[in-house]
Amino acid sequence: MGAPSTLESTKTNTSIELSGAEAVIKSLIHEDVDLLFGYPGGAIMPVYDALYNYQNELKHILTRHEQGAIHAAQGYARASGKAGVVIATSGPGATNLITGIADAQIDSTPLVCITGQVISQLLGTDGFQETDVIGISMPVTKWNYQVTSAEEIPEAIAKAFYIARSGRPGPVLIDITKDAQFAQLNFDYKKCESIRSYEPIPTTDQNSLKKAAELVNNSKKPFMIFGQGVILSGAEKELNQVVEKTGIPAASTVLGLSALPTTHPQYVGMVGMHGNYGPNLLTNECDVLIAVGMRFDDRVTGDLKRYCKQAKIIHIEVDPSEINKNVRCDIPLLGDAKEVLQSLLPLVNSNTHPDWIDEFEKCEKIEFEKIVQKEFFPKSDQISMGEVLNKINNITKGDSIVVTDVGQHQMISCRYAQYNYSRSSITSGGLGTMGFCLPAAIGAKLAQPLRQVIAIVGDGGFQMTLQELGTIKQFGIDIKIIILNNEFLGMVRQWQELFFEKRYAHTEMQNPDFIAISKGYGLESKKVSKRDELNNALEEMLSFDGSYLLEVKVGKEDNVFPMVATGASVSEVRLE
């Protein structure tokens, strides 16, 4: 048996008779779920009916769209480290989850999605609100399963949680026919602790560990890139120890942000398309690259043929299919990042690399002069996005959770936001899903009620899920929303400017009155367009007790730099 659950006392050998729907609820409670997100409908109504009796044990957040529910569950999972839980009805309810499931799959977020399905006799008849959600979700789930009889429910849910949380986490989906929800079963819950065909954590080869340590110890210019794997395995402390003992400069991927505090002296910034100048450029200068819990996404590597060819590469990774997938690796260290780093620590020598770190600092100076300075202290009257982030940092000192949407404001936030604690940066990395921010911020706040959650969103992405303002109001969720309004689909416009001869095809937007909208939802709000109002407005918002929406008018045609253009090498990182 696993860790005793809160209901251990009710779990006796003599099982109790329940409906399938109630078994769903009891199973969730056995998995220590106390919060779930969802949206009701015909095929899931028995489960909703059962929820009615468990309102004290299980809080349900009714979002305004199933996409909102799933992004909220993602935000919850990312901020808490627990699995996010979503319930939805069949057909359109289930298909509305797909974007979030795909997002969770590519960003390794543990989710358990439960969808209702038409009664089993109707399967395959194109019944009302029947969709093959198992078929549709198959390519974007870690595992999925259709339940057609009540007896299967506890075991299916136990497996779902085990699979979602273990190894490389991911989304799972359980589709339950309505007749299975109604039928009775003898309920007896056993947590799943292993599946014979599934090895969540591969064993680490001890010899490879020694070889890796030797490489690191003999290296003149070692460089580390860490990703979300560090956060997912809870390896922040071990990362810190290895970095400090070896004296290695360390950079983060977008999803690895906040695993190491941004103020750490050896933290040299972010890699990738809009990452920092030094880490991108010097990737092609290091002699040993240690990649920890990251997957060499094309937005990180740029042109693979010219990526880090000069270095020996050590790849610490839980998922064997990531080894040699994009970048050939000299020493794979399979296993859980925390355990691998723990085992590596005693094998590596204490060292410092002042000259090498100096090269990063030189690059940082160049980047500051060419880019950061202009963004933090612009000469034009227009407020810049970077300026807003800089002012936020001055107020929060890096203590907040920053949730972003997708686009220019996302890259600016990831570049500039300061983080003191892990799990403080929540953004849609692999899928780049616009509309992610607002609902994900809801989930993040519910996961970390004592921390301040700042949602930074573009005017485009905000309009993809703005109906979740209703959820924020109804449940009194305290989120500080900042719309960085450039009246453009900014990131696409930037590409049009740089790569499509400024042919601004369908990227300029006539926006609604965002302040009137937030008033409509009963939320506090303010709009600023002048620099001298900005700081006060931010302070007012961040000290306000409750949700607040601040619209900041920013330069319409500002660009995000540095940039490694698609197809370019990381050594060709552009400063303008």
Partner 1 sequence: MGEIKTYTISIFTENHVGLLNRITIIFTKRRLNIESLNTSESEIKGIHRFTIVVNVSEETVIKLVKQIEKQIEVVRAFYHIDEETVFQEIALYKVHTNTIVNGIKVESLIRDNHARILAIENDFIIIEKTGRKEETNDLLKKLEPYGIMEFVRSGRVSVTKPLEHMGSLLKIK
Ligand X SMILES: Cc1ncc(C[n+]2csc(CCOP(=O)(O)OP(=O)(O)O)c2C)c(N)n1
Taking the C-alpha atoms of 539, 540, 543 and 549 in order, what is their torsion angle to the nearest 10 degrees? -110
- Which residue type occupies 384? S
Residue 198's identity, in one-letter code, is Y
Which of partner 1, ligand X, none is residue 451 near (CB under 5 to 8 Å by kind)? none
In the complex with ligand X, which residue's Cβ is closer, 280 or 428?
428
* Cα dihedral across residues 288, 294, 300, 304: positive or negative: positive
3-state secondary structure of 502: coil
The catalytically annotated residue of 178, 312, 338, 445 is 178
Name residue, tokens 């003149």. Answer: 220
- For the CB of residue 410, give the shortest distance to ligand X in the complex, in Å: 7
Q: Which is nearer to ligand X, 78 or 493 (CB)?
A: 493
Nearest-angstrom CA–CA distance, 251 and 417: 15
Of 238, 231, 98, give the one whose Cα is nearest residue 168.
231
Give min distance, CB of 139 to partner 1, in A.
5
Verify whether residue 576 is a known catalytic residue: no
- Interface mask (CB under 8 A) for partner 1, residues 113-152, using x and -? ---------------------xx--xx--xxx-x------
Q: Which does 488 bind (CB under 5 to 8 A by kind): partner 1, ligand X, none?
A: ligand X
Q: Is residue 279 part of the contact set for ligand X (CB under 6 A)?
A: no
Q: Report whether 528 contacts 553 (CB < 8 A).
A: yes
Q: Is 66 in the active site?
A: yes
195 binds, among partner 1, ligand X, none (CB under 5 to 8 A by kind): partner 1
Binding partner of 319, given ligand X, partner 1, none, CB within 5-8 angstroms per partner class = partner 1
How many residues make contact with ligand X (CB under 6 A)? 20
> How near is the Cβ of 31 to partner 1 at its closest, in Å?
18
**Distance in angstroms (rounded) separating the CA atoms of residues 458 and 486:** 8
Indicate if 491 belongs to the active site.
yes
151 annotated active-site:
no
- Select from 52, 126, 196, 354 the one that contacts partner 1 (CB under 8 A): 196
Over 220-279, what HEC string results?
CCEEEEECHHHHHCCCHHHHHHHHHHHCCCEEECCCCCCCCCCCCCCEEEECCCCCCHHH
Q: Which of 320, 520, 522, 546 is in the footprint of partner 1 by CB under 8 A? A: 320
Interaction of residue 492 with ligand X, rule CB under 6 A: yes
Minimal distance in Å, beta carbon 553 to ligand X?
A: 12
Q: Which is nearer to partner 1, 332 or 562 (CB)?
A: 332
Angstrom distance (rounded) from CA 470 to CA 459: 18
Q: Which of 22, 66, 152, 238 is catalytic?
A: 66
Residue 408 in contact with ligand X, rule: CB under 6 A = yes
- Distance in Å, CB of 247 to partner 1, minimum: 34
Q: How far apart are CA 47 and CA 182, in angstroms?
A: 9
CB-based burial of residue 212 (10 Å sphere; 0-12 exposed, 13-18 middle, 19+ buried)? Answer: buried
Secondary structure (3-state) at 508: strand
Burial of 327-356, coded b for 16+ CB within 10 Å and e otherwise, reads bebebbbbbbbbbbbbbbeeebeeeebeeb
Query: Which C-beta is closer to partner 1: that of 136 or that of 565?
Result: 136
| Binds ligand X (CB under 6 A): choice among 461, 470, 555, 562 | 461
Q: By C-beta, is 103 or 359 nearer to partner 1?
A: 103
- 3-class DSSP assignment, residue 327: coil
Residues annotated as part of the active site: 66, 128-129, 178, 491
Which residues of this protein are in contact with partner 1, per CB under 8 A?
134-135, 138-139, 142-144, 146, 163, 195-198, 319-321, 323-325
